[in-house]
Amino acid sequence: MSEKVLIKGNEAIGEAAIRAGCRHYFGYPITPQNELTNYMSKYMPEAGGVFIQAESEIAAINMVYGAAGAGARAMTSSSSPGISLKQEGISYIAGAEIPAVVVNVMRCGPGLGGIMPAQSDYFQAVKGGGHGDYRNIALAPSNGQELYELTVKAFDLADKYRMLVMVMADGALGQMMENVEFRDREEPLIVEKPWAATGTGMKREKNSITSVYINPDELETVNNRLQAKYHEVEENEVMYEEINCEGADIVICAYGLAARLTRNVMKSASAEGIKVGLMRPITLWPFPKQAVGALAEKTDTVMSVELSAGQMVEDVRLAINGKVPVHFYGRTGGNIPTQDEILDKIKEVLGKEKK
């Protein structure tokens, strides 16, 4: 059944999870993602599922470890400080190769920071966060519909690769009400999980879900297998949106809310005769390295716009590899860059380039 509703982003994520077949959700209150936890407390039981308000974010991620390790589609959600607490569990989930979905409705930091929107958990999501050599798939929606679609996709990717998938929203996307079309899929992806701890039923060999290997060679073999899997994800799952980059005066790299602002800037810049392109990574990891690198053939100037002090810009620079200048504009503290600020920065950068 398909239906279009006016709904808060946080609630759209919850509905997406339920429609993706998630029946186990473990949460803990933190602003600005509370509507998601509230939604799950009401609608998960209605869907015949389990909602638990855990004693901490740490417990919640470990409940996910248990539920997903036992074969269920399981999810937890939080916001930045809570996601920091979950990092231990996230590393264990990576090590034990458990499919799980974690939603981060980002707020500003560091520390307790504030409750306003931010994109300053990029490093944490794509560069590790927890200990050890591991990767999470990180998806970056930029509107209500994408919150829905990418949350559904997160469960499929998690099951497909036995990986943790993070949905990287921000406080503004989570709080905003938008029209979202809930689409039930005709053929939901059903992945067999013969590895899960379900009880042997005396019908098969036992399953051990673990991330501990004391023997160095054994652990290196596990790591090599993980790296091979991550490489496969990099080959197959990169998603991005590219608009008007060919021959642009400047290409803005931005994701989520920042990309949305940039779309408006493109219009106002165009009115002033400046051609602005947009490169919008949808998968923050795997990062669209090739597509971003290829921008050097399409434009003379690149700029990353973020709600951070400059995080994704490092990956943009790595991909561009010095071929064209890569600039940065960002705001922190929960401030959102205005379209005028971005346009002014574009003019400043292009003026400098001309000199």
Query: DSSP string spanning 117-136?
Result: B--TTHHHHHS-SSSSS---
Report the distance separating Cα 132 and Cα 128, nearest Å.
8
For residues 179 and 200, which CB has a smaller minimum distance to other proteins in the complex?
200
Report the distance separating Cα 285 and Cα 239, nearest Å.
9
For residues 56 and 321, which CB has a smaller minimum distance to other proteins in the complex?
56
Minimum separation from the CB atom of position 15 to other proteins (A)? 21
Assess 200 for contact with other proteins (CB under 8 A).
Answer: yes
For residues 69 and 171, which CB has a smaller minimum distance to other proteins in the complex?
69
For residues 202 and 228, which CB has a smaller minimum distance to other proteins in the complex?
202
Minimum separation from the CB atom of position 88 to other proteins (A)? 6
Q: Which helix (H) or strand (E) holds 63?
A: helix 57-69
Tell me which of 1, 190, 212, 228 binds other proteins, using CB under 8 A: 212
Report the distance separating Cα 285 and Cα 130, nearest Å.
15
Q: What is the dihedral of CA 297, 301, 307, 310, to 10 degrees?
A: 90
Q: What is the dihedral of CA 285, 278, 156, 103, to 10 degrees?
A: 70
Report the distance separating Cα 52 and Cα 44, nearest Å.
10
Assess 75 for contact with other proteins (CB under 8 A).
Answer: no
Please tell me what DSSP assigns to residue 297: G
Tell me which of 6, 208, 271, 272 binds other proteins, using CB under 8 A: 208
Q: Of 84, 93, 76, give the one whose Cα is nearest residue 27.
A: 76
Minimum separation from the CB atom of position 220 to other proteins (A)? 18
For residues 211 and 335, which CB has a smaller minimum distance to other proteins in the complex?
211
CA angle at residue 138 from 233 to 279, to 5 degrees?
90
Q: Which helix (H) or strand (E) holds 81?
A: helix 80-85
For residues 4 and 42, which CB has a smaller minimum distance to other proteins in the complex?
42
Assess 293 for contact with other proteins (CB under 8 A).
Answer: no
For residues 193 and 280, which CB has a smaller minimum distance to other proteins in the complex?
193
Find out whether 257 and 119 touch, Cβ atoms under 8 Å. yes
Tell me which of 211, 223, 244, 335 binds other proteins, using CB under 8 A: 211
For residues 92 and 328, which CB has a smaller minimum distance to other proteins in the complex?
92
* Residues between 35 and 64 that touch other proteins (CB under 8 A): 50, 52, 54-56, 58-60, 62-64
Assess 85 for contact with other proteins (CB under 8 A).
Answer: no
Tell me which of 48, 111, 194, 201 binds other proteins, using CB under 8 A: 201
Minimum separation from the CB atom of position 90 to other proteins (A)? 11
SS3 167: strand
Assess 189 for contact with other proteins (CB under 8 A).
Answer: no
Contact residues: other proteins, CB under 8 A: 24, 26, 50, 52, 54-56, 58-60, 62-72, 74, 88-89, 92, 96, 197-203, 206-212, 214
